[in-house]
Amino acid sequence: MHHGNHFYGHAHVLAEYCGLDPADPPRVDGYLQHGWNVVDGLGAGTPYAPGRPIFVWSERTRRRAWSMNRPLATVTGAPFLYLLRSAAGAGTNEPREGTIWYPFHGWEGQKVSGDHHRLIDEITATESGPITFCLYWNEFEDGRIRALYERSGRVICHGYRGYMRQRTDARFLHRQLAELRRHRRVASNRLSTAILYGTAAGCEPAVYGDPMYLDREDTTTPDRIRREWPELHGAAPDPALARETVLAELGDGHLASPAELRAILGWPA
């Protein structure tokens, strides 16, 4: 099983949905898409063994995978949507307030660069309620960056996604869902997985501010994203239109039953 299948506890969430042990998910017979992207569902540079299936979130991603010579792509929907089904009642009656803000982040292979001071100034001038800044683990562990955000709001981190099956936080998505359900808005300076999750969980989305950039990033991709999904950009997009787009990108309508999903992933009945 590719180690990326464990990122954010995805395999664990799906195992729990299927009635299996979430602490010890079976081997997935293929590759799980682990984040929203605008290519074939696999992360950039993911080693791919030809002939293995890819389990993608949406029909649009499946068509892109097919065009990129990945014909064995099956639409299963995002693991986050399965978690929403499993935790349908938890925290949904609590009052929502303020904004959870996800600054664009780097990862093990690339650092992000940009003006955090200017971004924070724009955020605090735009948001009307209390702000929770959710930093990715590598920015959260950078005391200098974390301190900048702590001056303007509450600062949290959902956990470590895991890498090479080490330090995987199997409750990452559970923790994220709980936080999203506490907030009225979800926002970022880039359209990203977190914005899709927040919108699906009932938040009003927003994407604005300095987009920042990764080291050696191909800037045509973020430019393309802004062109293709204008309805998700701005300080106050139309929530209904945004939600319709988000649910399509996450594969709502393609979710399998527990028995079907076990068969698709090659898991025991």
Taking a C-beta distance cutoff of 8 angstroms, is the pair 219, 113 a contact?
A: no
Q: Which helix (H) or strand (E) holds 206?
A: strand 204-207
pLDDT score of 33: 95
pLDDT score of 107: 64
pLDDT score of 51: 86
- As a whole number of angstroms, the distance between CA 129 and CA 171 comes to 28
Nearest to 247 by CA among 58, 61, 17, 18: 58
pLDDT score of 91: 63
43 pLDDT more than 90: no
Q: Where do the structural domains in the chain lie, given as residue ranges?
A: 3-78+251-265, 99-249
- As a whole number of angstroms, the distance between CA 167 and CA 183 comes to 28
pLDDT tens by residue, 7-21: 899 999 999 999 999
164 pLDDT more than 60: no
* Of the options 1.20.120, 3.10.450, 3.40.50, 2.60.40, the CATH number for the domain spanning 99-249: 3.40.50
- As a whole number of angstroms, the distance between CA 254 and CA 74 comes to 10
Q: What is the mean pLDDT of residues 40-67?
A: 89
- Per DSSP, the three-state class of 83 is helix
Placement of tokens 């990862």 in the chain: 107
pLDDT score of 214: 75
Placement of tokens 């301190």 in the chain: 147
**How far is residue 210 from each of residues 83, 84, 116, 122, measured CA to CA in Å?**
31, 31, 9, 9
Q: What is the mean pLDDT of residues 98-121?
A: 84
Q: What is the mean pLDDT of residues 71-87?
A: 95
Which tokens is 170 given? 């199997």
Question: For 84, what's the count of Cα atoms within 13 Å in the CB-facing half-sphere?
Answer: 19
97 pLDDT more than 80: yes
- Per DSSP, the three-state class of 69 is coil
- Per DSSP, the three-state class of 84 is helix
pLDDT score of 171: 93
Mean pLDDT is lowest, of 19-28, 66-75, 117-126, 154-163, for: 154-163
Nearest to 246 by CA among 198, 188, 177: 198
Phi/psi zone of residue 11: left (φ > 0), alpha (ψ -120 to 50 degrees), beta?
A: alpha
- As a whole number of angstroms, the distance between CA 143 and CA 63 comes to 42
Q: Which residues pair with 23 in a beta bridge?
A: none
Mean pLDDT is lowest, of 41-50, 183-192, 197-206, for: 41-50
175 pLDDT more than 80: yes
Task: Provide the greatest CA pair distance for the chain.
Answer: 53
Residues 6+ apart with CB under 8 A from 46: 2, 4, 31
- As a whole number of angstroms, the distance between CA 56 and CA 142 comes to 33
User: pTM of the entire structure?
Assistant: 0.94
